[in-house]
Structure 1
Amino acid sequence: MKKRWVRMILGITILSFAFTGCSRQGTSDEITVYGQVAKIEGEHITIALAQRKDSSSEIPEEDYSNVILTGEEQVITVSDKTEVQESEVSSGKQEETEAGSIDDIETGDIIVAILEGADAKTVTILPDASSIEKQDSADQAETDGTAKGIIELSAVLQVDGKSDTSDKESLGSSKENESVVLVKNSGTLNMTNAKLTKAGDTTSVDESSFYGVNAVFVTTAGSESSIGKSEITSSSEGSGGIFSSGKDALVHVSDVKIETSGGSSKGLTATYGGTIEAADVDITTSGDQSPPIAAGKGGGTVSVTGGNISASGQGSPCIYSEGKIALEDLTGNSETGPIIVVDGKNSVSLNKCDFTGVGKQGIMLYQSTEGDSKEDPAKLKVTDSRLTSTGQGPMFYITNTKAEAVLINTELIYQGKILINAAGNDTNSWGTAGKNGGDITLTGIAQKLQGDIICDEISRVTINLTEQSTLKGTVNGENKGQNVDISLDKDSKWELTGDSYVNVIKNDDSKCSNIQSNGHSIYYDSSNAGNSWLNKKTITLSGGGKLLPW
């Protein structure tokens, strides 16, 4: 998600008028409001209103470094009649705007809206922070270990720079932005047999997702905590269960039950270098955008051994990674989302797990940012597990990223006919259309694979079959892929279900007796040096098809 924070907008000329307080009267029928998009529900957008930190009634026209959210909200209506603009920035100042659309408005955006009643005549999306500052605050947090937003973390029980223990306590909070437990400033806490409850919404979904604002149990940079034999329940927006954020933040979790029902309320979350080490967990989330296990912004690490997880809210995969996640002996399901989402140069590793998803794809490997960076791959490794996708889409979808997947003796169950779809996209703002293809290397080790492999003209696929792996399917059957390679060791097999086109085929069995054609042929690029072993020959395959040059 794009991140546009009030505190990050420095020295920008925004529009040609000044504001009075959070809104101003224009004509007799117009009001201008300014703030951050907190929620989007169809045409109704909730704005968290803004004001100056010094409580001055005026919001300055150029310097927005002194602006904070007031805690007040206003709901506006955006329709097809609303004129939407996105501001452009050069050298830290707004110079012009360009036409946008309703779909460009996202949670976390800073906007200026001119209203007639509750209806928005115009909405201007203020510049993306990354185009204003030399270094995004997320990058800075990764560099120096800081992870702090606008809203100050607070809690009912705060362990601040000291060591403490807690046993058989029941604690709760119903205040907005307030956690139940907070361990900070190199503090340590050992909590057992606790019952922690949370109500009261966040005023900023992004601050909750990035820094743990309003989460139930929070540990920050340099601090260490443990919680065991406990129950955590939250019912409010942005109220995750256990949150670790910042360099050297460490949380130990054992035999804990977590239930969250609000939106953007994950079960376990680690961000900005934080770590969670968990065992024997029972996690249920029912709010939207609430995966049970997440490594979030800035690269956190989550490891879990044993337990069960479940998600039922929209946009909630079992596992979401913008960091490192390693799971063992875990079962789980998502009733509406994919099994796994890996965003960017991050990773998920599964061993002896059993997960089910119901998304448009079983596993999604992508990069959500506007850039097209593919230098470092998204990584997935699955060993001795079972992954089930009950949706009709591909088992693997790769877009706007480079990816590496290793499957070892894992059962894949899915309804669709497509095993891999590597393709660009033009609907989700993931990269630049025409340049945002997928690039995946999938290695099977003692692995059964079934289904077609498709690839568009800006995408690449490499398939490696090793140690008695099998593939039954068509590879690049429409011959659209930018580059498609396949390799087989002598103990692995490929059974064709349609004519296939590859740039390079490598086979330790030079006679290709490990390929069953079923009457279909494989076409290879005879000019590619990787096929020099074939010497432009045509080989008749078992089943009547051929391996032949194009």
Structure 2
Amino acid sequence: MNFKKVAPILALVVTTSLLGGCTTDTTYEAQSTQEATNLQENKEEKVYVVKVQNITDHTITAVTGELTQDGPPALPNGETVTGDGPPALPDGETKAESTPSALPDGEAMTNNTPPSDEGGMQSFSASQETITFTIDDTTEITIEMLQGTQEGTLDQIGVNDILEVALNDDHTAKSIIVKNLNAGGGFGGSNTVTQGTSANTIDTDKNITDGRYISTGDDENALRVDNAKVTLDGITVEKTQGNSSNTENGDFYGQNAGLLVTNGAEVTIKNSAVNTTVTNGNGIFSYGEGTVVNVSDSVIHTTGNNSGGIQTTGGGTMNATNLEIETKGNSAAAIRSDRGGGTVKVLGGSYITNGTGSPSIYSTADISVADATLVANNSEALVIEGKNSIALENCNVTGNMGSSNLDENDSVHNIMIYQSMSGDAAIGHATFTAKNGSITANQGDMIYITNTTCTVELTNVALTLATDTLLNVSGNTSSRGWGTQGSNGGDCTFIATNQAMNGKIRVDDISILDLTLQQGTQFTGSINTENMSGTTTVTIDDSSKWVLTGDSYITEFTGDLSQIETNGYKLFVNGEQVK
């Protein structure tokens, strides 16, 4: 359950642990004058920096301490970043070409104000005192990230998190900031829009036919359209040489892209070809609010890492019709978005990727696709990060995520919905909808949901599974920085309409599933056959059916039990066998 406001329960307790192993417990009275050495106090509140030791319901126990400034920040797996390396992404790879692996592409962010810090990584130095405090319905929770902050919830606080806590006189938390100790140095991205140079720039309104635009320079676009209304028909864009000095400037702002449209420009592109062979050689890039790209009947080929087909960031708009896109590099989604997101609409065409960490769609935006073929030959098919969406209609989707670059406990999947906490995607509710068409998984679970809340809606989609798992809603090890282990589960509302689906559904003990089967849906499968303790609600209407393929354990059922065929197995609701 996600919640920010909860009822107060206990008073604040401070425990002092002596070096000899003895402890003394002292309860604060209203007029107590005792102060911890790291305490800052005013008439209304007391401020602590603490490290969480235990969370029980609405009560947190933590050790007090202080923050000290260290050297450069570290990646979630403990590796030191060099300035250009981004956080690890779903396929276990990073955006920077100089690091071992590549991410499934960017993330979006709506708050560009960085946390206050003088640079480098901070560390927590513990004292010998612990405190226990509670959260009430007025507590404000903020999550500090690499490039800003987001409103948070209690279930986003986990054991070992570092908090800055302001306590009221009644010993409840007035505010909590979940600290990001990597915030000072970031991962090499700039808060300043850095787009490099351009070999060719159009900054006045005009129509152009059969032009050819070439770039071989570092951090250079082959063609840039800046604050102009332009039509391009039958042009060729070639970005065949030129290094990218900073992969995140390429991912976020279009540096080194083939064709960059920026600064409120409106561009129509048709019957054209874009070819790039360099890192950050995104084919066509739409950056910034008010920028609109309308591209149709064109071909885009990219071969470098971090080189998507069409890329949208900073609130830009991309409208694509009947494109042929193929990418070969890692972290090179065919339809790609990153920091700041935007709006992407795709109609028709073929969108194929071949690299690792290169789904056919990576969404940190609102992306809708209809009547298209989407194929990821060496990656999961689709990824949604944070408060963003993918909507498909009449699409044929195929994914083939390998496991060679993954850790032992990592998930192999076809569709992933998650929150990385890297700071490039707003925290919030994700949405995935698919109507008609097909989705094929060649490896792994069909759908994996972790460290986020989301809605999944399937309507008359032909599903082909690679394994026996249809849906996996669960936490993760936090090795990639996706929340805190033990409190980073998924929360999914899953609605199946006129849908045939089969396979196992798994909901772990820190996750939630609300499953609705309606309008002729038939689910042939099981839920939590291992008697996992995740919260699972199932609703079935009179036209739908659930055929068990194993003993199933749920916490709540709504509907007529006659709509369930046990098939020789048992159904348990809240531990009680009902069929």
SS in 2 for 1:396: strand
Partner in structure 1 of residue 238 of structure 2: 197
Q: Would you say 1:156 and 2:199 are equivalent positions?
A: yes
Partner in structure 2 of residue 398 of structure 1: 449
Q: Would you say 1:515 and 2:564 are equivalent positions?
A: yes
SS in 2 for 1:263: coil
Partner in structure 2 of residue 416 of structure 1: 467
RMSD of aligned residue pairs (Cα, Å): 3.6
SS in 1 for 2:250: helix
Kept in 1, the 8 Å contact 2:336–2:362? The answer is: yes
The change in CA–CA distance for 1:488 and 1:375 in structure 2 (over 3 A counts) is farther
Cα distance in 2 for partners of 1:14, 1:502 equals 48
Cα displacement string for residues 276-304 of structure 1 (whole angstroms, at most 9, x for unaligned residues) = 00101000000010010012211221111
The change in CA–CA distance for 1:171 and 1:148 in structure 2 (over 3 A counts) is farther
Cα displacement string for residues 304-337 of structure 1 (whole angstroms, at most 9, x for unaligned residues) = 1010011001110111000111001101211111
Partner in structure 2 of residue 450 of structure 1: 502
From 533, 547, 561, the equivalent of 1:481 is: 533
Cα distance in 1 for partners of 2:420, 2:200 equals 36
Describe how 1:242-253 pairs up with structure 2 within 5 A: 242-253=284-295
Q: Would you say 1:385 and 2:437 are equivalent positions?
A: yes
SS in 2 for 1:474: strand
Partner in structure 2 of residue 297 of structure 1: 339
SS in 1 for 2:84: strand
Partner in structure 2 of residue 459 of structure 1: 511
Q: Would you say 1:356 and 2:398 are equivalent positions?
A: yes
Partner in structure 2 of residue 277 of structure 1: 319
Cα distance in 2 for partners of 1:152, 1:93 equals 25
Cα deviation for residue 151 of structure 1 reads 3.2
Kept in 2, the 8 Å contact 1:374–1:400? The answer is: no
Cα displacement string for residues 324-365 of structure 1 (whole angstroms, at most 9, x for unaligned residues) = 110011012111111110001100000000011012211101
Cα deviation for residue 366 of structure 1 reads 0.4
Cα deviation for residue 92 of structure 1 reads 2.7
Cα distance in 2 for partners of 1:246, 1:433 equals 35
Cα deviation for residue 38 of structure 1 reads 5.3
Describe how 1:313-328 pairs up with structure 2 within 5 A: 313-328=355-370
Kept in 1, the 8 Å contact 2:257–2:281? The answer is: yes
SS in 1 for 2:248: helix
Cα distance in 2 for partners of 1:289, 1:155 equals 23
Cα distance in 2 for partners of 1:222, 1:130 equals 33
Describe how 1:136-155 pairs up with structure 2 within 5 A: 149=192, 151-155=194-198
Partner in structure 2 of residue 20 of structure 1: none
Partner in structure 2 of residue 37 of structure 1: 84
Matched AA of 1:200: G
Partner in structure 1 of residue 574 of structure 2: 525
Cα distance in 2 for partners of 1:210, 1:475 equals 40
Partner in structure 1 of residue 380 of structure 2: 338
Kept in 1, the 8 Å contact 2:500–2:521? The answer is: yes
SS in 1 for 2:481: coil
Aligned residues: 425
Cα distance in 1 for partners of 2:504, 2:448 equals 12
Partner in structure 1 of residue 523 of structure 2: 471
From 149, 171, 176, the equivalent of 2:213 is: 171
Matched AA of 1:517: T
From 555, 559, 564, the equivalent of 1:503 is: 555
Describe how 1:420-431 pairs up with structure 2 within 5 A: 420-426=471-477, 427-431=479-483
Sequence identity percentage: 30
From 325, 329, 348, the equivalent of 2:371 is: 329
SS in 2 for 1:477: coil
Cα distance in 2 for partners of 1:496, 1:149 equals 55
SS in 2 for 1:37: coil
SS in 1 for 2:214: strand
Cα distance in 2 for partners of 1:164, 1:342 equals 37
The change in CA–CA distance for 1:490 and 1:15 in structure 2 (over 3 A counts) is closer
Cα deviation for residue 168 of structure 1 reads 0.5
Cα distance in 2 for partners of 1:505, 1:240 equals 48
Cα displacement string for residues 19-52 of structure 1 (whole angstroms, at most 9, x for unaligned residues) = xxxxxxxxxxxxxx996235999xxx9999xxxx
Matched AA of 2:230: L
Cα distance in 1 for partners of 2:562, 2:452 equals 35
Cα distance in 2 for partners of 1:93, 1:151 equals 21
Cα deviation for residue 137 of structure 1 reads 13
Matched AA of 1:195: T
Structure 2: gaps of 5 or more residues: 1-66, 73-79, 101-113, 125-145, 148-178, 402-411
Kept in 1, the 8 Å contact 2:452–2:488? The answer is: yes
The change in CA–CA distance for 1:16 and 1:330 in structure 2 (over 3 A counts) is closer
Partner in structure 2 of residue 8 of structure 1: none
SS in 2 for 1:362: strand
Describe how 1:77-226 pairs up with structure 2 within 5 A: 92-93=117-118, 98=123, 131=183, 149=192, 151-160=194-203, 162-184=204-226, 186-198=227-239, 199-226=241-268
Partner in structure 1 of residue 542 of structure 2: 490
Matched AA of 1:485: T
The change in CA–CA distance for 1:35 and 1:431 in structure 2 (over 3 A counts) is closer
Cα deviation for residue 95 of structure 1 reads 9.4
Kept in 1, the 8 Å contact 2:120–2:184? The answer is: no
